[in-house]
């Protein structure tokens, strides 16, 4: 065998090994590498290490799920194990999969949706329509037109409404510790291309990004009644602004807002 031919075989073998490693560890094919956001185990799943030891890839949980929420992981160490990808189809907490698991990878004693712990949702206030409406009054839609928006979709679809997600000042959503991580809010969130609300799976290292106090700290707004800055005198802010916006009703006359300054033709980040 010539040295050149041997080197060619060696390079081909290394390329094949590299491709296999990439396929194993690519998040798209193995959703549990680094616990991808919005990718959770089914309800009742035990600790990940124990889950991997107990799950026999029998697919009973997939077959019994009436919503088609449970998928199978592709190539990788987690191949064949079940997961829920909230952006495609969330878990609707019917609990059927728990009852049918033969090995205990999914806790069969778990019957109450309130006891599920798939993850915690977190709201990105920089793109959430309701929070943008609170701060800016208007936002662009896909056509570039400026529209006002009060979007409470995540609150409206939450199966644990007023427990997992509440409306602060009856105006904008806030996630509470009762969130079980079902992902319905993620599936229905209208913001694109990124969702304004995402589920951080149980077991993910970035626990601080899902904690209630972290999110609550992000939700504090200036309480001053007015601001006198850059000539913007008499502009409502904080609680007074929230109070006035909360009275908006599509069936009645809209309240008038003081707006003593011109709107720029373009806003950085919105073009």
**156-168 pLDDT per residue, tens:** 999 999 999 999 8
State the Cα–Cα distance between residues 211 and 197, nearest whole angstrom: 14
Quickly count: other Cβ atoms within 10 Å of residue 140's Cβ: 13
**20-33 pLDDT per residue, tens:** 555 544 444 444 54
What whole-number percentage of the chain has pLDDT above 90? 40
Predicted confidence at residue 13, as pLDDT, reads 65
- Using DSSP, state whether 2 is helix, strand or coil: coil
Helices 238-246 and 129-136, packing angle to 10 deg: 110
Exposed / middle / buried, residue 137 (Cβ in 10 Å: 0-12, 13-18, 19+): middle
For residue 170, name the pLDDT band (cuts at 50, 70, 90).
confident
Report, as an integer, the average pLDDT of 76-86: 85
State the Cα–Cα distance between residues 158 and 183, nearest whole angstrom: 9
Predicted confidence at residue 233, as pLDDT, reads 44
Radius of gyration of the chain (CA): 24
Lowest mean pLDDT among 45-49, 85-89, 253-257: 253-257
CATH of 31-115, one of 3.40.50, 3.30.70, 1.10.150, 3.40.190: 3.30.70
Enter the tokens of residue 44: 């009742």
According to the per-residue pLDDT averaged within each range, which of 3-17, 160-174, 203-217 is highest?
Answer: 160-174
Predicted confidence at residue 165, as pLDDT, reads 95
Q: Tell whether the model's pLDDT for residue 179 goes beyond 50.
A: yes
**100-153 pLDDT per residue, tens:** 999 999 999 999 999 999 999 999 988 888 888 776 655 555 555 555 578 889
> 119-220 in CATH: which number?
3.30.70
Lowest mean pLDDT among 1-10, 131-140, 167-176, 249-258: 249-258
State the Cα–Cα distance between residues 116 and 183, nearest whole angstrom: 12
Q: Tell whether the model's pLDDT for residue 99 goes beyond 60.
A: yes
Comparing 265 with 271, which gets the higher pLDDT? 265
What residue ranges of the chain are covered by domains with CATH 3.30.70? 31-115, 119-220
Quickly count: other Cβ atoms within 10 Å of residue 86's Cβ: 29
């Amino acid at each position: 065998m010539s040295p050149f031919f041997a080197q060619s075989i060696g390079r081909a073998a290394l390329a094949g090994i590299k491709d296999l490693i990439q396929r194993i560890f690519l998040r798209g094919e193995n959703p549990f590498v680094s616990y991808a956001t919005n990718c959770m185990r089914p309800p009742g799943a035990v600790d990940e290490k124990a889950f991997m030891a107990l799950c026999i890839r029998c697919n009973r949980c997939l077959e019994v799920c009436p919503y088609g929420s449970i998928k199978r992981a592709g190539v990788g160490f987690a191949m064949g194990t079940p997961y829920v990808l909230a952006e495609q189809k969330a878990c609707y907490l019917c609990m059927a999969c728990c009852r049918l698991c033969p090995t205990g990878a999914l806790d069969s004693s778990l019957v109450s949706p309130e006891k599920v712990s798939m993850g915690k949702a977190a709201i990105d206030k920089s793109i959430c329509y309701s929070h943008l409406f609170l701060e800016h009054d208007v936002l662009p839609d896909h056509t570039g037109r400026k529209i006002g928006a009060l979007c409470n979709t995540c609150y409206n679809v939450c199966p644990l409404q007023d427990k997992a997600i509440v409306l602060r000042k009856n105006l904008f959503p806030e996630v509470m510790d009762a969130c079980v991580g079902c992902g319905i809010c993620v599936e229905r969130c209208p913001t694109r291309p990124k969702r304004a609300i995402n589920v951080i799976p149980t077991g993910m290292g970035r626990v601080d990004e899902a904690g209630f106090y972290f999110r609550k700290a992000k939700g504090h707004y200036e309480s001053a009644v007015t601001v006198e800055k850059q000539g913007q005198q008499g502009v409502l802010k904080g609680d007074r602004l929230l109070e006035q916006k909360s009275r908006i009703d599509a069936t009645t006359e809209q309240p008038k807002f003081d707006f003593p300054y011109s709107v720029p033709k373009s806003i950085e980040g919105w073009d």
